Amino acid sequence: MNILEVKDLTKTYGTGETAVQALDHVSFSINKGDFVCIIGPSGSGKSTLLHLLGGVDRPTSGKVLIDQTDIYDLNETQLAIFRRRQIGLIYQFYNLIPILTVKENIQLPMLLDEQKVDEKQFKKITEILGLTSRLHHLPNQLSGGQQQRVSIGRALISNPAIMLADEPTGNLDSKNSEEIIELLKMFNKTFNQTLIVITHDERIALQADRIISIEDGKISKDEVIRQ
């Protein structure tokens, strides 16, 4: 089943002489449960693509369907709710809220929608992430690797259709990077959580099921590594 379908996606920033075509009619689809890496040179359009998949920006034209929902057909309020429930986003610099505890940061997407937190699921996720003794700490009391684990927890808490990560290990040393990738792969393989990762790191890309290469706003290569 296709959990994600991208159709003719185009994004132009600015107008006139300063217009930049960051994405140029990109189309592809992704099967539920796949681990896909997106690679490509700096400025090729990777972050733009991930933002459009994540519903945090709007395309100039084209469609993004997540679990059959055409997300840019939704109005702002509907899209915000859809994003919190169905899309888990992980950033290079964690984007945690500094005045909230680890527990509050992880539960935030649920609290914003006044949804009940499934305490059993919360416990399971925080145990797997090794955060049980850190739940009442603030982000700045944690190491970088721990902060990234909190952001993974926040991305997973609503059991989203897809997880999107933009250079999730870009700010970590190699030991912490490996740990974060192992955790993401564990949720991908054990819980069939679809995972899309932008990375510069070839060692990470080679662990994916499929590698999509972007150049100049277009897909230049799309390789299945393992079935």
Considering only 90-98, 124-132, 143-151, 203-211, which stretch makes contact with ligand ADP by CB under 6 A? 143-151
Considering only 14-22, 29-37, 86-94, 104-112, which stretch makes contact with ligand ADP by CB under 6 A? 14-22
Helix axes 76-86, 102-112, angle to 10 degrees: 130
In the sheet with 162-166, reading across from the earlier edge strand, the strands are 87-90, 162-166, 194-198, 35-39, 210-215, 218-224
Helix axes 144-156, 119-128, angle to 10 degrees: 150
DSSP notation for 138-190? -GGGS-HHHHHHHHHHHHHTT--SEEEEESTTTTS-HHHHHHHHHHHHHHHHH
The minimum distance between CB 135 and ligand ADP, in angstroms, equals 12
Is residue 213 within the footprint of ligand ADP (CB under 6 A)?
A: no
The minimum distance between CB 141 and ligand ADP, in angstroms, equals 3
Q: With contacts defined by CB under 6 A, how many residues of the chain interact with ligand ADP?
A: 17
Is residue 126 within the footprint of ligand ADP (CB under 6 A)?
A: no
Considering only 91-99, 106-114, 136-144, 154-162, which stretch makes contact with ligand ADP by CB under 6 A? 136-144
**Closer residue to ligand ADP, CB minimum distance, 110 or 129:** 129
- Interface with ligand ADP in residues 20-49 (CB under 6 A): 20, 22, 40, 42-48
Is residue 132 within the footprint of ligand ADP (CB under 6 A)?
A: no
Q: Using alpha carbons, list the distances in angstroms from residue 130 to 5, 48, 124, 180.
A: 34, 32, 10, 11
E strand residue ranges, 40-175: 61-66, 69-70, 87-90, 162-166
**Closer residue to ligand ADP, CB minimum distance, 133 or 190:** 133
Instruction: Choose which of 107, 126, 146, 213 interacts with ligand ADP (CB under 6 A).
Output: 146
User: What is the Cα–Cα distance from 222 to 214, expressed in whole angstroms?
Assistant: 9
Chain residues that interact with ligand ADP, rule: CB under 6 A: 13-14, 20, 22, 40, 42-48, 141-143, 145-146
